[in-house]
Amino acid sequence: MEAKAIEWVEDRLRILDQTRLPQEQRFIDLAGYQDVAVAIREMKVRGAPAIGIAAAYGIALGGLAIAAANREEFLTQLNQVIQALADTRPTAVNLFQAIDRMSKAAGRGNSIAEIKRMLVDEAKQIHNEEIEATMRLSQLGAELIKDGFTILTHCNAGFLATAGYGTALGVIKAAKEQGKHVSVIATETRPLLQGARLTAWELKQENIPVTLITDSMAGYFMRQGKIDCVIVGADRIAANGDVANKIGTYTLAVLAKENGVPFYVAAPTTTIDFSLVS
């Protein structure tokens, strides 16, 4: 897939507007941190890993725009940028991990010019690490998928949500690349229809067979033995392994347990919040 959900282009952040999919592939160039904050709030960028990456680039954009007389004044203004982005999506732990890394990067700089350079470099590093992490977890997860499997997934956890290879959908893509024949049943995922609008679109781009169902149909398909496993992503994972994800995920987990269907969560370590016991 050539389209990129997030891309740094000549000191601008280019995003694929997810609110326009699947009818239109529209890319938006964001020139300031305020634009990034609005894009996150309006879900033009969504998915825990992608939000963290977008926020990191947003902080870099904010830093580049600061005109300060000295280092202390620069850092004071940068903190205002950071706070604006921290307020966008408090449920995404990746957001705060990215913010923490960007803050530490700024603190290491000795001059304003150096801080600005380090902010851009750190944002790019966060992005690259997420790409590598999602590709690796997808390859590992694909080992759980057998040839001929039909997989149920909920919401959207592909390249759109991660700005990388994907998590739940990454596992499915990797299985296909291993030569396995797989098909997907995707829930529509109300109320914003991420499954219908985004997951089905991504899978069609990858030429992976997909059937779209209403959220309430999952139990029927499991009972009929038509689903071999369930794979979802995660918004946040607590230290004990508890998972917070799109509304409806818990229902699918209960249905999977009742019907003896394996249930997997695919997520990078950046989604784990060790500050939460459960």
How high is the pLDDT of residue 2?
Answer: 60
Tokens of 186: 């995707």
| pLDDT per position as a tens digit, 203-222 | 999 999 999 999 999 999 99
158: left (phi over 0), alpha (psi -120 to 50) or beta: beta
In CATH, what number is assigned to the domain containing residue 149? 3.40.50.10470
72-80: list long-range contacts, CB under 8 Å, 24+ apart. Answer: 74/112, 74/115, 75/106, 75/107, 75/115, 78/106, 78/115
**Which DSSP helix (H) or strand (E) runs through 232?**
strand 229-232
| Residue at which a domain ends, from 119, 136, 153 | 136
- The rounded distance, in Å, linking the Cα atoms of 203 and 236 is 24
Same structural domain, 152 and 171: yes
How high is the pLDDT of residue 90?
Answer: 83
Same structural domain, 16 and 70: yes
Catalytic residues: 235
Q: Which residues, given as ranges, of the chain have pLDDT below 50? A: 1
| Residue at which a domain ends, from 136, 170, 197 | 136
Same structural domain, 219 and 92: no
| pLDDT per position as a tens digit, 134-189 | 999 999 999 999 999 999 999 999 999 999 999 999 999 999 999 999 999 999 99
- The rounded distance, in Å, linking the Cα atoms of 144 and 12 is 39
Same structural domain, 179 and 228: yes
This prediction has a pTM of 0.95
Same structural domain, 80 and 181: no
Same structural domain, 107 and 11: yes
- Give a yes or no: residue 229 inside a domain: yes
Tokens of 44: 């033009």
Same structural domain, 108 and 87: yes
- Give a yes or no: residue 278 inside a domain: no
- Give a yes or no: residue 1 inside a domain: no
- Give a yes or no: residue 208 inside a domain: yes
213, burial (CB in 10 Å: exposed 0-12, middle 13-18, buried 19+): middle
Count of structural domains, the chain: 2
Same structural domain, 198 and 243: yes
- Of 240, 215, 244, 214, nearest to 232 (Cα)? 244
Same structural domain, 29 and 87: yes
- The rounded distance, in Å, linking the Cα atoms of 13 and 271 is 23
Evaluate whether 212 touches 196 at the Cβ level (below 8 Å): yes
The residue segments making up the domain with residue 114 are 6-136
Strand pairing report for 6-8 and 27-30: unpaired
Same structural domain, 173 and 254: yes
In CATH, what number is assigned to the domain containing residue 46? 1.20.120.420
- Give a yes or no: residue 66 inside a domain: yes
- The rounded distance, in Å, linking the Cα atoms of 84 and 267 is 26
How high is the pLDDT of residue 91?
Answer: 80
Same structural domain, 253 and 147: yes
| Residue at which a domain ends, from 93, 115, 136 | 136
Same structural domain, 255 and 149: yes
